């Protein structure tokens, strides 16, 4: 069994054309004299943010001494646990998750 074409026409597939340059693209050329006048201004807020990031990167994320104090208190059995406060915080977190959906 053989399959024959219904028509003998070849398909006319268009090839993508290159985008034409517009006048604006041609006008975008900047001379070296104009490049020397570029300037960047950093606001005081940006400076404060940079200082905060620098400060936080030098400070450890976990206070090992505090973690050890809590571990020791838990082992001795004298770490105060407020069940009411824990339950309220759990309910608050659950409510925040429901509201964020």
Residue 14 inside a domain? The answer is no
Digit-coded pLDDT (tens) for 22-62 = 544 444 455 555 556 777 777 888 888 888 888 877 777 88
The Cα 37–Cα 31 span in angstroms is 11
Pairwise CA distance, residues 54 & 61, whole Å: 13
Structural domain boundaries enclosing 94? 42-99
Instruction: Give the phi and the psi of residue 59 in degrees, each rounded to 5.
Output: -100, 135
Specify the pTM. Answer: 0.34
Whether residue 5 has pLDDT greater than 50: yes
DSSP 30: -
How many domains, the chain? Answer: 1
Let me know if residue 72 belongs to a domain: yes
Query: What's the average model confidence in pLDDT over 15-24?
Result: 52
pLDDT at residue 76 is higher than 90: yes
The answer to whether 70 and 79 are in contact (CB under 8 A) is: yes
Q: Other CB atoms closer than 10 Å to residue 91's CB: what's the count? A: 10
Q: Mean of the pLDDT values across residues 53-81?
A: 89
Residue 81 maps to a domain: yes
């Amino acid at each position: 069994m053989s399959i024959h074409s219904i028509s003998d026409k070849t398909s006319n597939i268009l090839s993508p054309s290159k985008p034409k340059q517009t006048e604006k693209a041609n006008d975008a050329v900047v001379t070296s004299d104009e490049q020397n006048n570029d300037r960047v201004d950093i606001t005081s807020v940006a400076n404060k943010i940079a200082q905060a990031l620098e400060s936080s990167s030098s400070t450890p994320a976990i206070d090992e001494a505090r973690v050890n104090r809590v571990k020791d208190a838990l082992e001795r059995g004298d770490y105060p646990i407020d069940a009411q406060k824990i339950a309220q915080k759990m309910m608050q977190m659950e409510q925040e998750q429901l509201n964020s959906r």
